[in-house]
Amino acid sequence: MTSESGPGRAAPRGLEAELAAGLASLEARGLLRALAPPDQAPDLADFLSNDFLGLARHPEVAAAAAAAALEHGAGSRASRLLGGGSPLHAQAEARAARWLACESTLLFPSGYQANLGVLCALAGRGDAILSDALNHASLVDAARLARAQVCVYRHLDLEQLDALLRARRGARRRLVVTESVFSMDGDLAPLAALHELCERHDAWLIVDEAHAAGLLGPEGAGAWAALRRPPEQARRLACRIVTAGKALGAAGAFVAGSEILCRHVVNVARTFMYTTAPPPAVPGALLASLEILREADGARRAVLERARRLAASVGLPPPDAAILPFVLGAEERALEAAAHCRAQGLGVMAVRPPTVPHGTSRLRIAVHAHNSEAECQRLIDALARFPRALPGAAETARRAATLFVVGTDTGVGKTVVSALLLRAARAQGTACYWKPVQTGSENDTETVRRLAEAPAEELLPPLHRFPLPASPHQAAAAAGARIELGALEEALERMRLAHPGACLVVEPAGGLFVPLNDETLFADWLARARPAVALVARSGLGTLNHTLLTLEALRSRGLEPRALFLVGEPHPANCATLRDLTGIEPILELPHLEPLDGESLERWLARHDLSGIFAP
Ligand SMILES: Cc1ncc(COP(=O)(O)O)c(C=O)c1O
């Protein structure tokens, strides 16, 4: 992206003014990004690229790319289905299938497109996608685009996945989607156990090998290949996505699976059908890099060994691959550390939300075959002045994550549950309560203050108060005002910054589909903020329907409740049905307490463990 700015440029108006305000808000929160021209600092030691084995600049790979371009042209001229591509495309796919020991592969122009294409080809309405909470954005977007029900399970939490698979047994098809090596944390998914769960539940496993391909397994064929499973023990593996722009040093991604699966993808994956085939230089380069990978055991060992030594020297646990997450916590600290490294001639990337969860901003250190011992030592020295957030810090930060108390309706007991949660969160560390929009004459903040026996500093003032007891958009309109999503988002961010490490319990007005203004539902805010969620429902007639409807709406936005509260007359049969149908854990019955005060809440809390709700 190039742009012109300077004294002659007029002040932005209209759309530009709106966009400029958004950019200013990102900047104020330490979240603004800008493109850094890579050639500005050619001498930086590479701890940032995904070119783990240095193949992108390998003379044979570059020469093969150039030869392919000379022979077959710079571009592919059309999509594969319209005759675009070159003979090299099919050759590279056949070569990759041998490498990955599968029947067939299909080369997409990028890993992002491959993930979108495959998930949309395999899942749709009536299906369920179960996705690890730390999956890459391309998988998150793909799951949303597929229109299947999306259930996000806590990172690597097989118990929760098991419960969710059980709960979704009515779905037509269930797909468990995971990275093998996670791109921002560098840890390895337990692929064998995931496959076993899929077998047990008749579900299918999809593995994104972006950061394992080239590095792990025989000939670098990835983490799944490292399991060395015969085909009869891989029956529930639907496919792998093997990106080719990282350790393979080129671009694109192979979808690897059965011959039928690949034919199906050719016929229905829109990101394959309706895009120009990758240029011939890509399969040309890949044919060369796949050849080099066969003989690259030494380089693989060197990278993994170097990553282990580096991790030990900076106090990190032994890594599974070549990515080290040096978690610093706040955005500013990560930016400061990256700038310091840069000043020492070290290229290291600061990674901030939304790429990683709030409070876990970090340096993402990628280790390469071409990193010298001297560079590693310089990096160790540079990092020494930045105390890493302790392992618990990521935990604290996630615990500190915002918890939205979502109701199936208005008047279902959200305020009492919020008071309970505030008390429980306080027992784990600092906590705050926030009612962003208060309508009517009630004062929920005051009720929470009384029930949670909260000191003033735990209670954050509403952003909006409107006297009309109506939905936020109507109450605002009656007061001649309008609720802006951007203003709510900024206020939330300000609260987070002002209360670092605190768990923020947020109680929105009404139920999930309450309009904030004429265009925006509360659910839209949730989908963007992606907070932790506790779901509150009234116990009684209609509970099952309201709860399941709200849950479906949450899950289709990729939000999985950390708890379900059923408020009112206990109803063991409803409780059991919801446990069975939803897989939510825990489901907690909260009867109408008499009297309703701090003491009765405390007695209830003494009998129930809510700490899991705040767990990472
Ligand atoms: C896990 C994962 N999957 C997919 C992708 C997308 O791959 P590509 O860069 O080829 O679009 C990435 C890229 O960073 C990734 O980390």
List, for residues 510-567, the tens digit of each pLDDT value: 899 999 999 899 999 988 888 889 999 999 888 999 999 999 999 888 788 999 999 9
From the candidates 51, 179, 458, 493, give the one annotated as an active-site residue: 179
Query: Is the pTM higher than 0.75?
Result: yes
Cβ-proximal residues to 373 (8 Å cutoff; 6+ apart), any chain? none
Q: Give the pLDDT score at 38.
A: 59
Statement to judge: residues 410 and 268 lie in one domain: no
Identify the band that residue 139 occupies on the pLDDT scale cut at 50, 70 and 90.
very high
Distance CA 407, CA 187 (A): 35
Atom number, ligand 1, closest to the C-alpha of residue 244: 10
Choose one of 265, 294, 323: the last residue of a domain.
294
Q: How far is the CA of 368 from the centre of ligand 1 (A)?
A: 18
Residues spanned by the domain of 125: 73-294
208 lines ligand 1 (CB under 6 A): yes
- Is 501 a domain residue? yes
Active site residue 246: yes
Residue 93 sits in the same domain as residue 229: yes
289 and 400 in a single domain? The answer is: no
pLDDT value at 160 more than 80: yes
CATH of the domain at 267: 3.40.640.10
Q: Does residue 166 sit in the same domain as residue 278?
A: yes
pLDDT digit string, tens, across residues 17-54:
889 988 888 888 778 888 876 555 568 999 999 999 99
Distance, CA 439 to ligand 1 centroid (Å)? Answer: 44
Q: Are 84 and 203 contained in the same domain?
A: yes
Whether 480 is covered by a domain: the verdict is yes
Are residues 88 and 204 both part of a single domain?
yes
* Higher-pLDDT residue of 581, 96: 96
User: How far is ligand 1, taken at its centre, from the CA of residue 243, in Å?
Assistant: 7
Question: The tokens of 416 are what?
Answer: 């009492």
Number of compact structural domains in the chain: 2
Confidence bin at 151 (pLDDT 50/70/90)? confident
pLDDT band for position 467 (50/70/90)? very high
Claim to verify: residue 289 and residue 415 sit in the same structural domain: no
Is residue 278 one of the residues assigned to a domain? Answer: yes
- Measured between its terminal Cα atoms, the distance across the chain in Å is 37
Q: Is 439 in the pocket of ligand 1 (CB under 6 A)?
A: no
- What is the Cβ-side half-sphere exposure of residue 572, based on CA atoms within 13 angstroms? 0
Domain co-membership, 412 together with 276: no
How confident is the model over 351-396, as pLDDT tens digits?
998 888 777 889 999 999 999 999 999 999 999 988 776 555 544 4
Which of 260, 294, 328 is the last residue in one of the domains? 294
Is residue 503 in a domain?
yes
Q: Are residues 435 and 560 in the same domain?
A: yes
Say yes or no: 401 and 264 in one domain.
Answer: no
Q: Does residue 31 lie in a domain region?
A: no
- Residue 108 Cβ inside 6 Å of ligand 1? The answer reads no
How confident is the model at residue 528, as a pLDDT?
82
Of 294, 325, 358, which residue constitutes the final position of a domain? 294
Same domain assignment for residues 440 and 559: yes
Q: pLDDT-derived band of residue 273, with 50, 70 and 90 as boundaries?
A: very high
CATH number at residue 481: 3.40.50.300
- What's the CA gap between 130 and 95, in Å, rounded? 31
86 CB near ligand 1 (under 6 Å) = no
Residue nearest ligand 1's atom 10 by CA: 111
Q: Is the peptide bond before 616 cis (omega within 30 degrees of 0)?
A: no
Whether residue 406 sits in one domain with residue 290: no
Q: Which long-range contacts (CB under 8 A, 24 or more apart) does 474-480 make?
A: 475/437, 475/439, 475/440, 476/437, 476/517
Which of the four pLDDT bands, split at 50, 70 and 90, describes residue 399?
Answer: very low
- 242 CA from centroid of ligand 1 (Å): 9
Give nearest CA residue, ligand 1 atom 15: 210
